[in-house]
Amino acid sequence: MRVLVSVFALVLLVTSGRYGYHRDELYFLAAGRRLAWGYPDQPPFVPLLARVMSAIDPDALWVLRLPSVVAAAVVVVCAGWMAGELGGGRGARALAAAAVASAALVQGVGHLLTTTVFDLAVWSVVCLLVLKLIHAHGDSSSSSVVVDGDTTGDPRWWLLIGVLVGVGLLNKVLLIVPVVALVVALLLTGQRKVFVTRLFPCAVGVGALLTLPYLWWQARNGWPQWELSRAIAGGSSGTSDSPIMFVLLQFGLFGPLLVPLWVYGLWRLWHSRYRAFAVAYVLLFVLFLVTGGKAYYLGGMYPVLLAAGSVGLAGWLGHAGKRWFAATSVIALNAVMSASLFLPVLPIEAIPHSPTLAINYDAGETIGWPRYVEQIAAAHPPGASILTANYGEAGAVEHFGTEYDLPTPHSGHNAYWWWGPPPDTATEVLTVGIDRERLTGLCASVEPRGVLDNGLGIDNDEQGEPMFLCGNPLRPWSQVWPELRNLG
């Protein structure tokens, strides 16, 4: 398994410098320059991480993405260990690790600095520790520990779970949903005794204490995270999914070839003492479906399903070499399919002629930013402020604009709105991505300054967006600013 994990990490590392920054990575870098305990759309963990990595080398994309490579490797390792905890031997552990390493979601988020990859890593470790607690609870051997009259395994795992959940919530507050779902599932499936330890409430306290600064920031600012969640459920995000797409994408998150394996794993868990994980999967599936959640929100449950399926599959494969060859060939094919779509292995020129953008939205968002900023610089009059429609455009101007002496940009999108409007003294503002109709209500003169063009024919979110020079504002920007707030 060590060789497999090493190869997986090496592939991510080698490809991490291709194409370019993702819009979210540019945003994280901007947030990292303005460190706070919270932001309207996220906790502080990834912006802090972006700040640290950019301090090491501000221009090395592979350095920025190195923590994601490590986190994705943790997910793969945990899948193998979960298979071992579920009773699998060496073959089952290798199968589980290989299956997760071949997954489209794991490869995709492991290639970028995202909140999702750390969410997957934290949740994978939590699942592994809960499996240990359930396993020890059902084991009356001397290796388990008696706490308050119960055989529950080493209760100190709860403290580690509390720390992990607390840190995980500082990365992505959505983690609370699977945590609560798993607790409910454990109670529903008769695993109440795993909670009978004095360290369980201590773990809850540790997690709450770690999260408190972020909650304090949200409370002081009117809970914008809740408003954002409702906006995403309404389809405001580029990766928002309809209910039908939510269901269909579950068959592609880890690759269509692995669907039989995780379905088998779900069945095995349902008929075992680890049924809580199957119940949690069903609860989360229904919850995210009815509340408009994104398809990948359910992604954290698949490593444990694949681990369970791998244990059963390894038992059936036995010592039959041909069967093992067939199984590993399917996983290898799944890995190649995932990499071809979710890792930057194709030449950029080939992307418009491939199905990549139709399947992997994020690939398009890593292409063209330096060229866009060059065009913004060419359209920018000396002394004018810059106002963009979204945080990707603003983050790109901040990161690449120093070469052209561009000013710090402004935007009404997410945290950029919190960072303030153009100065009221600004009589000229170059706008990027904002329609003329909106600008005529803001400025006396609106002069076209061209459109963004990546020159590659790649239809991403910025391609063809207009630029205008907005002159002689009708009202001070500080008065207009509340109207330009956009969470999504």
For each successive 10 residues of the chain (488 residues), what is the average pLDDT?
94 94 97 96 97 95 97 98 96 97 97 96 97 74 35 76 97 96 96 91 96 95 87 63 90 96 97 96 96 92 98 91 93 96 93 90 94 98 96 97 96 96 96 96 96 93 96 95 92
Q: Give the whole-angstrom CA distance, residue 78 versus residue 86.
A: 12
The pair of structure tokens assigned to 405 is 């002496």
Residue-level pLDDT at 155: 80
Asked, for residue 320, whether it belongs to a domain, the answer is: yes
* pLDDT score of 137: 63
Position 144 scores a pLDDT of: 37
For residue 443, list its beta bridge partners.
Answer: 473
Whether 327 is covered by a domain: the verdict is yes
Same domain, 77 and 193: yes
Q: To 10 degrees, the CA torsion angle through 61, 249, 106, 20?
A: -10
Q: Measure the CA–CA gap between 403 and 369, rounded to whole angstroms.
A: 13
The residue assigned the tokens 């359930």 is 134
3-state class of 69 per DSSP? helix
Q: Do 198 and 299 fall within a single domain? A: yes
The verdict on 338 and 379 lying in the same domain is: no
What are 444's two structure tokens? 């006396």
> Residues 108, 182: one domain?
yes
Same domain, 52 and 118: yes
- CA pair distance 435, 431, nearest whole angstrom: 9
Would you tell me how many other CB atoms lie within 10 Å of the CB of residue 403?
Answer: 11
Q: CB of 276 within 8 A of CB of 191?
A: yes
- Does residue 355 sit within a domain? no
The residue whose two tokens read 């306290």 is 205
Reference 426, options 482, 478, 486, 485; nearest CA is: 478
Whether 309 and 375 share a structural domain: no
- For residue 361, being part of any structural domain is answered with no
Do residue 116 and residue 168 come from a single domain?
yes
| Residue 358: inside a domain | no
One domain for residues 387 and 436:
yes
What domain range is 442 assigned to? 368-484
Question: 439 and 387 in one domain?
Answer: yes
Count of Cβ atoms closer than 10 Å to residue 257 Cβ: 18
Is residue 373 in a domain?
Answer: yes
Q: Distances from the Cα of 225 to the Cαs of 43, 216, 349, 371, in angstroms? A: 9, 12, 38, 32
The answer to whether residues 57 and 113 belong to one domain is yes
Same domain, yes or no, for 59 and 184? Answer: yes
Task: Yes or no: say if 447 and 375 are a contact pair by the CB < 8 Å rule.
Answer: no
Q: Nearest 5°: CA angle at 223, between 222 and 227?
A: 110
What is 383-404 written as a DSSP string? Answer: T-EEEESSHHHHHHHHHHGGGG
Residue ending a domain, among 342, 358, 387, is 342
Q: How many domains does the chain have?
A: 2
The residue among 342, 359, 379 that closes a domain is: 342
- How far is it, in rounded angstroms, from Cα 109 to Cα 303? 14
**Per the domain annotation, does 434 fall within a domain?**
yes
Q: Are residues 326 and 411 in the same domain?
A: no
Residue 209 belongs to some domain of the structure = yes
